[in-house]
């Protein structure tokens, strides 16, 4: 049976370790790299190496940055009295793309998952409470997911923040824009009704 | 293979890939059913939003010939229990109940009893105003269903009535009178504890909610039940630590 040269096999094995990449995709990527010009491949390798070497987590909010602190925490026009709590740096990108949030963020780096034994001490809850105690924000918006673990995390944060005298709000849950009611599941509809507002 | 149809409570649901979820159901006729819900996280999926703990519904799945992971085809809600997860304490409580029930739901016989117990507890979520009592109520019934709750009526050694300070033998998982306990490794349990356990075993959840126990009785019962639960499930219950953190007697 024909086999790849050892160097190629190593590269294929490394690529298949990546999330969402199976053997066929790894093969496709590797052959694409082999076909490309050397400079293009070098650009890819350099950018990946630079990401690995220079991207770190912001010590204030936990967002991704290549500087001491992230661009949002450095921005003087941001409202520091308004903190939005999210699970993951990807959520910061999603909210920033919405383009309406004037405050700053706090990234938890996960969520409380009781059935996996992941508790508040495994995510950045202590940092949030310290930040709330130090900066006394006007409002903390909890924007964790609406799945059961996201809700459990929100309940926990709400309890702890309220005990510290902080106003806590939760992002609304309900019907996605552009969809009709007859395709909605009962749980989503119930949440949409609960979260209704004067119009 | 033809699809299987049954009812089930979601006892575990977690992301598998960017679009799929692994979902475990506690069912009345097949015990614990593990499924892969392909595409459940896609925006247009009919499964989206339904596969959350502790939703209860009709499920259709294609059984696997080679493993115990089946493919979920459909899930239609019968009931959902917003009150069961409305507060942090209740949410932690029902996470623990779901993990406990699924830890021992092997096969239809045991699975059926555990399914009924979990469903009954979920339907009474709003009456759970004293979670420590509710936890003891659930654990006692759970151990009874598993057949590991030592009989309370008489001494396991001589069959005589248990008066005064009785003793518990961890090795034999049984209650002994002081006479039979001589020379065996046992722990002393005051008579009030036996009476309280008997009361909880014999009464409905609503009545048990009003039961008042001294801190010492609470600690003793909790310690005994913890020992019996641990020795019967033979795995670390991950959600218990969270429950212990957020609910204190």
CATH number, domain with residue B47:
2.40.50.140
Cα nearest neighbour of B53 on chain A: A148
Give residues with Cβ within 8 angstroms of B134, minimum separation 6: B93, B121, B128, B205, B208, B209
Q: Which residue is associated with the tokens 């992301």?
A: B15
Considering chain A, what percentage of its residues have pLDDT values greater than 90?
A: 81
User: Which carries the bigger pLDDT value, residue B231 or residue A31?
Assistant: A31
The C-alpha atoms of residue B145 and residue B100 are separated, in whole angstroms, by 12
Structural contact between residues B64 and A159, judged by C-beta atoms closer than 8 angstroms = no
- The closest of A150, A141, A195 to A169, measured between CA atoms, is A141
Specify the pLDDT at position A177: 84
Q: Does A177 touch chain B (CB under 8 A)?
A: no
Specify the pLDDT at position A20: 84
pLDDT in tens, A132-188: 999 999 999 999 999 999 999 999 999 999 999 999 999 998 888 888 888 788 888
> In CATH, what is the architecture of A75-198?
3-Layer(aba) Sandwich (3.40)
With CB atoms and an 8 Å threshold, state whether A185 touches B77: yes
The C-alpha atoms of residue B34 and residue B55 are separated, in whole angstroms, by 15
Are B64 and B146 within one domain? no
- Tokens for A167? 């106003």
Distance from CA of B102 to the nearest CA of A (A): 11
Distance from CA of A1 to the nearest CA of B (A): 28
Total number of domains constituting chain B: 2
Residue B86 lies in a domain: no
**Predicted confidence band of residue A119 (pLDDT cuts 50, 70, 90):** very high
Residue B109 lies in a domain: no
Q: Does A155 touch chain B (CB under 8 A)?
A: yes
Residue B125 lies in a domain: no
Are B75 and B139 within one domain? no
pLDDT of residue A93 exceeding 60? yes
Specify the pLDDT at position B248: 67
CATH 1.10.8.420, chain A: domain bounds = 6-54
Contacts 24+ apart (CB under 8 A), B58-64: B58/B5, B58/B6, B58/B7, B59/B5, B59/B6, B59/B7, B59/B8, B59/B25, B59/B27, B59/B33, B59/B35, B60/B3, B60/B4, B60/B5, B61/B3, B61/B4, B61/B33, B61/B35, B62/B1, B62/B3, B62/B4, B63/B1, B63/B3, B63/B4
Cα nearest neighbour of A156 on chain B: B88
pLDDT of residue B182 exceeding 80? yes
Q: Which residue is associated with the tokens 């979601």?
A: B10
Specify the pLDDT at position B249: 60
Backbone angles phi, psi at A125, to 5 degrees: -80, -45
Average pLDDT over every residue of B238-242: 92
The C-alpha atoms of residue B21 and residue B12 are separated, in whole angstroms, by 10
> Which residues 93-132 of chain A have a CB within 8 Å of chain B?
112-117, 119-120
> In CATH, what is the architecture of A6-54?
Orthogonal Bundle (1.10)
The C-alpha atoms of residue B231 and residue A173 are separated, in whole angstroms, by 42
Query: How many other C-beta atoms are found inside a 10 Å radius of the C-beta of residue A55?
Result: 11
Lowest mean pLDDT among A17-31, A32-46, B223-237: B223-237
**Predicted confidence band of residue B231 (pLDDT cuts 50, 70, 90):** confident
Residue B87 lies in a domain: no
Are B160 and B59 within one domain? no
């Amino acid at each position: 049976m024909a086999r790849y040269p050892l160097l190629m096999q190593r590269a294929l094995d490394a690529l298949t370790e990546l999330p969402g990449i199976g053997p066929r995709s790894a093969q496709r990527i590797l052959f694409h790299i082999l076909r490309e010009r050397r400079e293009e491949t070098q650009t890819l390798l350099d950018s990946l190496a630079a990401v690995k070497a220079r991207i770190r987590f912001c010590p204030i909010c936990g967002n991704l940055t290549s500087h001491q602190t992230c661009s949002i925490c450095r921005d003087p026009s941001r409202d520091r009295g308004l903190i939005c709590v999210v699970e993951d740096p990807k959520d910061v990108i999603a909210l920033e793309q919405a383009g309406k949030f004037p405050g700053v963020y706090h990234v938890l780096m996960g969520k409380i998952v009781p059935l996996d034994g992941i508790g508040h001490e495994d995510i950045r809850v202590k940092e949030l409470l310290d930040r709330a105690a130090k900066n006394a924000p006007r409002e903390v918006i909890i924007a964790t997911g609406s799945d059961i673990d996201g809700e459990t995390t929100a309940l926990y944060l709400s309890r702890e923040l309220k005990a510290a005298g902080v106003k806590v709000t939760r992002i609304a849950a309900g019907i996605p824009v552009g969809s009709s009611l007859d395709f909605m599941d009962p749980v989503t509809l119930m949440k949409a009704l609960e979260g209704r507002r004067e119009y | 293979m033809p699809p299987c149809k049954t009812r089930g409570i979601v006892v575990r649901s977690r992301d598998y890939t960017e679009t799929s979820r692994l979902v475990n159901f506690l069912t009345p006729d097949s015990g614990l059913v593990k499924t892969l819900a392909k595409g459940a996280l896609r925006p247009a999926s009919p499964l989206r939003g339904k596969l959350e703990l502790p939703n209860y519904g009709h499920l259709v799945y294609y059984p696997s010939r080679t493993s115990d992971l089946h493919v979920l085809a459909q899930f239609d809600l019968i009931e959902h229990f917003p009150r069961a997860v409305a507060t942090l304490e209740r949410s932690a409580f029902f996470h623990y109940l779901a993990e406990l029930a699924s830890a021992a739901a092997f096969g239809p016989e045991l699975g059926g009893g555990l399914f009924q117990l979990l469903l009954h507890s979920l339907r009474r979520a709003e009456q759970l105003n004293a979670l420590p009592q509710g936890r003891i109520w659930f654990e006692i019934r759970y151990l009874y269903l598993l057949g590991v709750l030592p009989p309370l009526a008489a001494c396991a050694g001589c069959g005589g009535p248990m008066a005064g300070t009785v003793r518990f033998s961890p090795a034999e998982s049984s209650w002994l009178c002081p006479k039979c306990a001589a020379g065996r490794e046992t722990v002393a349990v005051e008579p009030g504890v036996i009476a309280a356990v008997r009361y909880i075993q014999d009464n409905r959840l609503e009545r048990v909610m009003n039961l008042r126990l001294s801190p010492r009785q609470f600690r003793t019962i909790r310690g005994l039940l913890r020992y019996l639960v641990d020795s019967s499930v033979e795995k670390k219950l991950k959600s218990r630590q969270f429950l212990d953190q957020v609910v204190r007697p």
